[in-house]
Amino acid sequence: MAGPFALGELARIGGGELGTGADPARLVRDVAPLETAGPNDISFLDNSKYVAAFVASCAGACIVRPTLANRALPAMALLLTAEPYRAYALIAQAFHPEPPPS
């Protein structure tokens, strides 16, 4: 596993921008699903049917569409993008790169 990564670097990797008040130097240690993410993890919300999990999540950061940003808890840093799933996939690859061929 690679990382940790600064939130600002993850925004660059994922092609998004940080939400208001998000600290670009904040370290993120891994990716995780909304339901199991902790304060050092980043997760994502791409489907409004998972808003309840988003609102209840303990994730320190989350990748979301700007239209859903107002549903986040105040302590959650946001990475805003029109394509949350794509951004999450790119960020997950940064944390868990493919091993080199042997």
pTM here is 0.93
The CATH classification of domain 5-95, taken from the options 3.40.50.300, 3.40.630.30, 3.40.1390.10, 3.40.140.10: 3.40.1390.10
Query: Is the confidence at residue 101, as pLDDT, over 90?
Result: no
- What does pLDDT average to over the chain? 95
Q: Which two tokens stand for residue 16?
A: 């998004």
Place 85 in a pLDDT band, splitting at 50, 70 and 90: very high
- Tens of pLDDT along 43-68? 999 998 999 999 999 999 999 999 99
Place 2 in a pLDDT band, splitting at 50, 70 and 90: confident
More reliable by pLDDT, 99 or 30: 30
Query: Is the confidence at residue 1, as pLDDT, over 80?
Result: no
